[in-house]
């Protein structure tokens, strides 16, 4: 049985860290990812960082939701970044032609250091 996606958000200064765990697939409740990122931005976070190290797979439906979240945050003047994406997710972004759309960092600590400036 596929692991259900879990989302946990914490705000550290001006950075909202949205930790995702599990497979992001069409079987998940639609809109949860976008809602979490929009809520973080509404709480005053200037940067929304998705922590993806515990996400082994993203299907095309949730990739679309990732794009929608990026658009929503950046239209509000914020920054949207990905941290700790696995090589499988990085390959998916490249295959979809999105490698230059998302600001990406190797790890959560690298992202914090770069985004805290």
Question: What tens digit of pLDDT does each residue of 14-40 get?
Answer: 999 999 999 888 888 888 888 899 899
DSSP-based three-state secondary structure for 83:
strand
pTM: 0.90
Domain 6-115 in this protein, CATH class: alpha beta
Q: Are 48 and 80 contacting, i.e. CB atoms less than 8 angstroms apart?
A: yes
The structural domains of the chain, with segments of one domain joined by +, span: 6-115
Q: What is the pLDDT along the chain (117 residues), one digit of tens a residue?
A: 346 789 999 998 899 999 999 988 888 888 888 889 989 988 889 999 999 999 999 988 889 999 999 999 999 899 999 999 999 999 999 999 998 999 999 998 899 889 886
Q: Are 34 and 72 contacting, i.e. CB atoms less than 8 angstroms apart?
A: yes
Concatenated DSSP letters for 9-70? EEEETTEEEEEEES-B-TTSPTTHHHHHHHHHHHTT-SEEEEEEEE---B-HHHHHHHHHHH
């Amino acid at each position: 049985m596929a692991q259900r996606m879990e989302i946990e958000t914490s705000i550290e200064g001006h950075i909202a860290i949205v930790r995702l765990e599990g497979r992001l697939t069409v079987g998940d409740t639609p809109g949860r990812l976008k809602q979490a990122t929009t809520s973080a931005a509404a709480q005053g976070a200037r940067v929304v960082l998705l922590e993806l190290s515990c996400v082994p797979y993203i299907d095309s439906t949730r990739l679309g939701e990732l794009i929608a979240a990026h658009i929503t945050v950046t239209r509000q003047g914020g920054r949207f970044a990905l941290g700790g994406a696995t090589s499988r997710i990085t390959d998916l972004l490249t295959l979809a032609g999105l490698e230059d759309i998302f600001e990406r960092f190797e790890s959560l600590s690298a992202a914090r250091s770069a985004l805290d400036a």
